[in-house]
A and B are shown apart, each in its own frame.
Chain A
Amino acid sequence: ETGVTQSPTHLIKTRGQQVTLRCSSQSGHNTVSWYQQALGQGPQFIFQYYREEENGRGNFPPRFSGLQFPNYSSELNVNALELDDSALYLCASSWGTGWSRNEQFFGPGTRLTVL
């Protein structure tokens, strides 16, 4: 059984560019959640995908978008990058959508730096 993987591990972009981050969920999991963690802060929920549909969204602008594929892997896309988008981006997979019932397994994260 493989764990949650993310790619790339590190990424440097400039303002205005677009970026795609990838997440492969743990085997058997159908739900992927994405989080943004700024330096020295706790993670902030971006959105969750369940069976290829967006299941919920945090307080992030529309330039943050995502996809989930039939194999339940997922992408996070960020358009028109801003300096404040520099952060660690974490994905987590679970079987089922509710945090109160379903333990989430986190990937190692992608560290994005926007210059």
Chain B
Amino acid sequence: KNEVEQSPQNLTAQEGEFITINCSYSVGISALHWLQQHPGGGIVSLFMLSSGKKKHGRLIATINIQEKHSSLHITASHPRDSAVYICASSSGAGSYQLTFGKGTKLSVIP
């Protein structure tokens, strides 16, 4: 059974700081997803990656398949980045089932 662990659970940062959120998983996967959830519930997909690194604006996601570990980095953090960040894994090319981590609550203070 795949388990997805995230750390830290809660993170408070000053505006402008570099932020890292970590995700580890227990079995081989075909893709790792990073999602952002704002207060109120809506979820937005940030990245889907199966190897290497992806970058979108100030967000960078990396994955190390051998170590079963992924990180989400936010450069020059801003209060609007405050949200819950969730990683989730899928296994199998046609897999419909995601295993989610519990999320990391990020608060960026001006």
User: Which chain A residues have a beta carbon within 8 Å of chain B's beta carbons?
Assistant: 33, 37, 40-45, 48, 55-56, 58, 88, 90, 92, 97-101, 103-109, 111
Report yes or no: B41 in contact with A88, Cβ–Cβ below 8 A: yes
> When the two chains form their complex, are residues A33 and B41 in contact, meaning their CB atoms are under 8 A apart?
no
Which of A40, A44, A97 meets B96, CB within 8 Å?
A: A97
Task: Pick the residue among B93, B100, B101 that contacts A98 (CB under 8 A).
Answer: B93
- Answer yes or no: B51 CB below 8 A from chain A CBs: no
Count, A-B residue pairs, CB within 8 A: 75
How far is B24's CA from A101's CA once the two chains are assembled, in angstroms?
A: 21
B110 at the binding interface (Cβ < 8 Å): no
Contact with A along B78-97 (1 / 0, CB 8 A): 00000000101010111111
Across-interface contacts of A40 in B (CB, < 8 A): 102
In the complex, are the beta carbons of B96 and A99 less than 8 A apart?
yes
Which residues of chain A have C-beta atoms less than 8 A from B44's C-beta?
106
B32 to chain A, nearest CB (A): 10
Can you spell out 29 A-B residue pairs with CB atoms less than 8 angstroms apart? A40-B102, A41-B102, A42-B88, A42-B100, A42-B101, A43-B86, A43-B88, A43-B100, A45-B96, A48-B96, A55-B96, A58-B97, A90-B43, A98-B94, A99-B31, A99-B97, A100-B30, A100-B31, A100-B90, A100-B92, A100-B93, A100-B95, A101-B94, A103-B48, A104-B45, A105-B45, A106-B43, A106-B45, A108-B42
| Residues of chain B whose beta carbon lies under 8 Å from any beta carbon of chain A | 4, 30-31, 33, 35, 40-45, 48, 50, 86, 88, 90, 92-98, 100-103
Interface contact B96-A98, CB-CB below 8 Å: yes
> Closest approach, in angstroms, between the C-beta of A39 and any C-beta of chain B?
11
Q: Within the assembled complex, what's the spacing in Å between the Cα atoms of A107 and B101?
A: 19
In the complex the two chains form, is A90's CB within 8 Å of B41's CB?
A: yes
A100 near B100 with CB under 8 A, answer no
- Complex: chain B residue closest to A55, CB-CB: B96
Cβ–Cβ contact B33 & A99, under 8 A: yes
| Given A100-B30, A100-B50, A106-B42, A45 contacting B92 (CB threshold 8 A) | no
